[in-house]
Copies of this chain bind each other. A is one copy, B any other.
Amino acid sequence: IGNPKAIDLWLDVVEDPRLRSEQLGELDPGELLRLGDLMPVGVAAEVTDTLALHVAVDLVRTVAAARGGELLAALESDRAAEILRELDADERERLLTAMPAEHAVVLRDLLTWPPESAAAHMVPDVLTVGRSVTAAEAIAQVRDHRAKLRQDAHIGAYVFAVDPEGRLEGVVSFRDLVLADADTAVADLLEPDVVSIGPLTDQEEAARTVVAHRLLAVPVVDDDGRLLGILTSDDASDIAEVEATEDAERQGGSQPLEVPYLRASPLLLWRKRIVWLLVLFLAAAYTGTVMQAFEDELEAVVVLAFFIPLLIGTGGNTGTQITTTLIRAMSTDNVRLRDVGRVLRKEMATGLLVALAMALAGIVRAWTLGVGGPVMLTVAVALVAIVLWSSLISSVIPLLLKKLRADPAVVSGPMISTIVDGTGLIIYFTTAKLLLPELAGL
């Protein structure tokens, strides 16, 4: 480390960008600084491009401002903007001032869009031609942009035709341009029905558009039809991965971490977890009230307590299965609001089948614990009621959230378990009061 030859050797030996990123991520800031200053800027940019975001941020933060600006200018602008967003205002300004003015203008523009919008991830350098030129002229124009094109295979995949005001008129794939006869007019090759997105389109929806249409890039077009930039399919893949991670974390009952797991300090992990834990604890606290209300029943037939964890656990498990499946189906767009009737019929029918099987299992378990017929019956009936109840609320709540335009992915397994815990207890003790003769007088 710190020796230019050693760095060349390292770059030669370690070719996998994930491996490079991982190894750089383990260096301390001082070492990272030395490395960032020593690598040729082209190589440094190439490495920075493949680095995990937090390592890239550390790198531009630790090197001198001039070097950092140079590095950011050599990156694709969407990547550079992503890095700049992670810095505080002072650092960002310092780097923007240090880089060539034309790059700074582009980056400042990108930074004005909300971070979750499609525009924040777009590449503003788009290949455009007028519709009146020929294929050969268009290719010549593309050739003039050769340097820009070398950067990323995704950027030059399509050439966009625009009118003098910059309004999008159509698209032609670079390949069709090359394969056409040289004097064909671009207008004849154009596909005028372009799939496009608005700059404020949510990044998740934008990414899904790219994938659903199997595009290499989708143009970002403002309300006046002007072409602002493109969102490329590799950026769309990155967005989809980040969104899937956030959804997984929410499903587990945490707030999204926003930094890679290994970088998260215990204090950050604590902050992201404790909020929901306390909310759920507060919500679950009424289970104590429920139990207190049924204290007399519990004292009269203490064996009822034996089945509490089993019953509420089964209710929670049933609900968690439903919400995770349903929320994923909603986020991959199979299930929409108007399917609410189908979803409920399906889940209640499934719930009935599940309930019967679990009641049978409950009877077997009650029998092995030797608790006698009436308690056995109570457990079986309570299991049926709890499973059906859990099926109902865990189907309805995600659909209701979608209806209210909230993200259904906030419904976590722990949340459903908590809701079912207390209500399940009420169902259980009420069933017991109805079925057990010794509780009749209470």
Interface residues of A (CB under 8 A from B): 15-18, 50, 52, 139, 142-143, 146, 149-150, 152-154, 156-157, 173-176, 178-179, 193, 211-216, 233-234, 236-238, 240-241, 244-245, 247-249, 251-254, 257, 260-262, 264-267, 269-270, 273-274, 276-278, 280-282, 284-285, 287-289, 291-292, 295, 298-299, 302-303, 305-310, 312-314, 316-318, 320-329, 332-335, 339, 342, 346-347, 349-350, 353-354, 357-358, 361-362, 365, 368-369, 412-414, 417-418, 421-422, 425
Q: Which residues of B contact A302 (CB under 8 A)?
A: 295, 298-299, 302
Task: Flag if A313 contacts B284 (CB, 8 Å).
Answer: yes
A361 close to B278 (CB less than 8 A): yes
Instruction: Select one of B214, B248, B298, B412 contacting A328, CB under 8 A.
Output: B248
- 9 pairs, CB–CB < 8 Å, chain A vs chain B: A153-B157, A251-B251, A251-B413, A261-B325, A266-B353, A269-B350, A276-B317, A288-B369, A309-B421
For the complex, give the distance between the alpha carbons of A142 and B234 in Å: 25
Q: Is the beta-carbon distance between A241 and B240 smaller than 8 angstroms?
A: yes
Minimum CB–CB distance for A191 against chain B, Å:
12
**Most chain B C-beta atoms within 10 Å of own C-beta, residue among A257, A260, A306:** A306
Q: Are B425 and A309 in contact (CB under 8 A)?
A: yes
Q: Which residues of B contact A176 (CB under 8 A)?
A: 150
- List the B side residues contacting A143 at CB < 8 Å: 179
A18 to B262, CA, bound (A): 38
Interface SS, A side: helix
Report the Cα distance A162→B130, complex, angstroms.
Answer: 39
A285: shortest Cβ distance to chain B, in Å?
Answer: 5
Q: Which residue of B lies closest to A346 (CB)?
A: B266
Complex Cα–Cα for A230 and B133 (A): 35
Q: When A and B form their complex, which 10 residue pairs have the shortest distance between CB atoms, in order from nearest?
A: A252-B324, A261-B329, A266-B349, A287-B309, A413-B413, A317-B414, A266-B350, A270-B353, A269-B350, A248-B328
* Contact, CB under 8 Å: B312 / A249: no
The distance in angstroms between the C-alpha atoms of A71 and B181, with both chains bound, is: 30
Q: How far is the CB of A76 from chain B (nearest CB, A)?
A: 10
Contacts of A295 in B (CB 8 A): 302-303, 306
CB neighbours (8 Å) of A150 from chain B are: 176
- Chain B nearest CB from A196 CB (Å) reads 12
**Does the CB pair B307–A262 fall under 8 Å?**
no
**How far, in angstroms, from A408 to B193 measured CA to CA in the complex?**
45
